[in-house]
Amino acid sequence: MSWRYIAMRAVSGDILDWDVPFVADSAPRRELNGPGQMTGKIAPEYMRLMAKPDGLPVLAEWSTALFAEFEGKIRWGGLITNLSFEGQAMKVTCAGYTAYPSGMPYLGPTIHSGAKVAQKWAYDGKDKNHDGYVDGSKPKRKMPKRPKDTISRRWDAYDVVRTIWNHLQDYQMGKLGVTLDGHDSGYLLGAASGADPWDLQWWDSPDCGSTITDVMNLAKADFLERHSWDGSKEKILHHIDLGTRRLGKARPDLRYAQGENVIEIATPNYQGDFFANNIYVLGKGSGQKTARVRVVVDDKRLRRAKLVAYKSTANVKTLTEYGKRERARHSEQLTIPSIAVRHHPNAPLGSWALGDRILLQVEIPWVGELAIWHRITAEEIDPAAGTAVLSLSRSDFYG
């Protein structure tokens, strides 16, 4: 068996070619919390073919979707985002459907999450001399107590993500047919007190992709794009899984060991100049009124401080959570960024899922034998060769 590449018009869903003569540079890359990528080449003669009835070439930027199938299963799908010449061939670059929101402005309905809503009060303006009594009342009557402000709906993070996707797909030429999970994340945006509402409003020029990333980070949640055939195998479905909150699980049932199924490891990383164990997050405000929090880890090393900005909020809890994430990123210890594995009974090809945590057993020169838990953040599976490349991050980065 070999790979088959299928071209489809992204909006209509019409199949343009069931077997595109595409030569991939490597196995397609699937990512956790990202669109992934597939690149390759195609003979220029193929580009001259026209796809009826729209008159566009079969392969056209931001019009054609390309899917990689192996043994009847769609392993990857995405949009052609760039076509360029490379020698005598045409280079094709594809990104997953979740790349579509990036760079797109949000022009949908305003969202105020956790905002204070002032209650109407019949006595507004009826104590002009501020003596605490209702003006003109006889006998003198004290002003009643003003009713407390209510708090507007606090949106769940996933409701915001779904709203953005619905907004993008409301446009006729944006109907990609992407569906999303319907459950909640459990993380509500904005402070419960109403002191720091979370807003999404078009006049602030928000970027849809960046907003989705920010909201998912606040919720400490994951998403994963996938594509599959419908029952008739004539239509391709596109779906985004939303984690509750992290996708994947610890996999003590799988063994990844150098010399067994791990056939190659990338050069391990330390932090170097990137290291910091004191993170200062600057929030909303200016001058001395700028909101600021400090997040510290006691790791017995010299104090190394870094300032990071998160200017959309002054909420201490939100800024602290952002600081914890940055602290973990800047104080991450020795990491194996990627490994190549082969099919093996200890961990059959594809037995893992993106987001899973695996115990990696390797030997590093000058360090010795190590067993470190890593999280799988991306994969490039080549079932024909029986190998895969797994991108990793230290699992303690995620808490």
- 274-298, pLDDT tens digit by residue? 788 899 999 888 888 899 999 997 8
Least confident window among 4-18, 157-171, 255-269: 255-269
How far apart, in whole angstroms, are the C-alpha atoms of residue 264 and residue 385? 15
Q: Which residue has the higher pLDDT, 269 or 93?
A: 93
Structure tokens at 1: 């068996």
Tokens linked to 361: 């057993």
CA geometry: angle 151, 155, 157, nearest 5 deg = 145
What's the Cα-to-Cα distance from 356 to each of 156, 186, 233, 377, 390, rounded to whole Å?
25, 21, 29, 8, 11
Looking at residue 311, its pLDDT comes to 82
Q: Cis before residue 251, ω within 30 degrees of 0? A: no
User: For residue 399, what pLDDT band results from cuts at 50, 70 and 90?
Assistant: very low
Phi, psi for residue 323 in degrees, rounded to 5 = -65, -40
Mean pLDDT for the chain?
A: 89
Q: How many CB atoms lie within 10 A of CB 228?
A: 13
Q: Is the pLDDT of residue 394 over 90?
A: no
Nearest to 191 by CA among 313, 33, 95, 305: 313
| Nearest-angstrom CA–CA distance, 6 and 19 | 6
Give the total residue count for the chain: 399
Q: What is the mean pLDDT of residues 112-141?
A: 77
Those residues whose C-beta lies under 8 Å from the C-beta of residue 372, and which sit 6 or more positions away, are 334, 335, 336, 359, 360, 394
Consecutive H or E run containing 49 = none
Question: Residue 392 has what pLDDT?
Answer: 93
Q: What is the mean pLDDT of residues 9-22?
A: 94
173 vs 362, higher pLDDT: 173
Please give the Cα distance from 322 to 341 (Å, whole number). 34
* Cis status of the peptide bond prior to 35, with omega within 30 of 0: no
Per-residue pLDDT for 230 more than 60? yes
Considering the entire predicted model, what is its pTM? 0.83
With cut-offs at 50, 70 and 90, classify the pLDDT of residue 271: low
Name the more confident of 379 and 194: 379
